[in-house]
Amino acid sequence: MNILAVETSCDETAAAVVADGRRMLSSVVASQVDVHHRYGGVVPELASRKHIEAIVPVVGEALDRSGVGPEGLDAVAATRGPGLVGALLVGFSFGKAYAYGRGLPFVGVNHLAGHINAVFLTEDPPAFPFVALLASGGHTALYHVTSHTRMRLMGQTRDDAAGEAFDKVAKMMGLGYPGGRVIGEMAERGDPQVISFPRSYLDKKGFDFSFSGLKTAVRRYLQLHADTFRDHMDDIAAGFQEAVVDVLSFKLMQAARQTGCPRVVLSGGVAANRRLRERVVAEASREGFEACLPPVSLCGDNAAMIGAAAFHELQRGTVSPLDADVYSRARLA
Ligand code: KG4
Ligand code: ZN
């Protein structure tokens, strides 16, 4: 089954064609970073307008590259939420109209289920059950995943998402938006032992996260060392990153131990972070767990992951009516 999938929940206009939830025939991602960069974050109204401009060419390119074209499609999917409502509406309305026009079934997909299903587009996908850490710009949560569509929320952030903390710290350090990738690159040149920032485990046995205290600690450090911090930016980035990675990897391993799952999965934009990937692979191997990491290209927002999740929704009979609406906030399971 070939699915055309569309993703417009934030600042990436993306389209992909995915076969049987497993094989990516094409995947096109048009980033709006240049548009939002000067504002230091995503401006929702600008995001919606840019999606409107980009959606037709991006879908056209995805269909061209797929090699199957419009006639080879069996269904259409689009991200339904959570995300920016105006941005979501562009892709969701486009998807519905396209499906209606071609007489194909349409299904709305949860963005978070999409991130978790990205791992099934890899050569060696995990078996069920597993524990998934979803760490992105909008979410940081742990899920006990027992099927493509059954994901039990174990814990989530009480304040900032991990990616949001990366972005805010980057902004404080004058590195622009989005800052996750830049901080990750700087951190590789720095020494994480030089500056020790606080790790917030909240209740150490629980699975909730908190990153706002860490962000405030970095702000205080930058204020205290206003004249000198520019001389050791790499060490600050490394110290901050290490604090985030310590907490994320600790809770992921603990969740796997507690649920008895022999596998852990990373997903979301922060899963592109080299240090996090390294640590999760090393700690999983020490504990005897299998670690499954999607390639970096599938960690950030893309439409292929939506196509992968959509396949399993359609398999279980889910079809969205044409009057279905998008949603801005939602919890999985
Ligand atoms: O999944 P995603 O593309 O969008 C959301 O659904 O939020 O995640 C974007 C987030 C941003 O906060 C970005 O700074 C972060 O992922 N990110 C990273 C890295 N690459 C992207 N954070 C840390 N290290 C990276 N290499
Ligand atoms: Zn995302």
Residue pLDDT, tens place only, 267-309? 999 999 999 999 999 999 999 999 999 999 999 999 999 999 9
Residue 268 lies in a domain: yes
What value does the CA radius of gyration of the chain take, rounded to a whole number of Å? Answer: 20
What confidence score (pLDDT) does residue 205 get? 87
Question: In the chain, how many domains are there?
Answer: 2
**Residues 269 and 139 placed together within one structural domain of the fold:** yes
Residue 325 lies in a domain: no
Ligand 1: residues whose CB is within 6 Å?
10, 136-138, 163-164, 166-167, 178-181, 184, 268-270, 272-273, 300-301
Q: Which of 13, 168, 270, 278 should be mutated for ligand 1, with most atoms under 8 A from CB? A: 270
Query: 282 to each of 4, 253, 259, 288, how far by Cα in Å?
Result: 37, 11, 20, 10
Domain co-membership, 19 together with 150: no
pLDDT at 30: 95
Same domain (yes/no): 14, 106: yes
Question: What DSSP letter does each residue of 13-75 carry, written as one string?
Answer: EEEEEEETTTEEEEEEEEE-HHHHHTTTS--HHHHHHHHHHHHHHHHHHHHHHHSSTGGG--E
Same domain, 104 and 200: no
**161 part of a folded domain:** yes
Distance 193 CA to ligand 2 centre (A): 31
Determine the pLDDT at residue 202.
80
**Residues 84, 133: one domain?**
no
Ligand nearest to the CA of 164: 1
Atom 20 (ligand 1) nearest CA: 181
Going from the Cα of 163 to the center of ligand 1, the distance in angstroms, rounded, reads 5
In a domain, 81, yes or no: yes
> Which ligand places an atom closest to the C-alpha of 187?
1
Is there a single domain that holds both residue 205 and residue 267? yes
| pLDDT given at position 333 | 52
Tell whether pTM > 0.85: yes
Q: Which atom of ligand 1 is nearest to the CA of 9?
A: 6
* Index of the ligand 1 atom closest to the CA of residue 83: 6
Atom number of ligand 1 nearest to Cα 161 = 12
Confirm if 125 and 291 have CB atoms less than 8 A apart.
no
CATH value at residue 198 = 3.30.420.40
Parent domain of 105: 2-116+300-315
Give the closest ligand to the alpha carbon of residue 42.
1
pLDDT of residue 331: 61
Q: What is the pLDDT of residue 40?
A: 82
Structure tokens, 312? 């399993």
Q: Do residues 311 and 164 both lie within one domain?
A: no
Q: How far apart are CA 135 and CA 332, in angstroms?
A: 14
Q: List 28's β-bridge partners, or say none.
A: 15
Residue 42 CA to ligand 1 center (angstroms) comes to 13
Structural element, H or E, at residue 271: none
Give every residue of the chain whose pLDDT is below 70, as ranges: 331-333
From ligand 2's centre to the CA of 255, what distance in Å?
Answer: 22
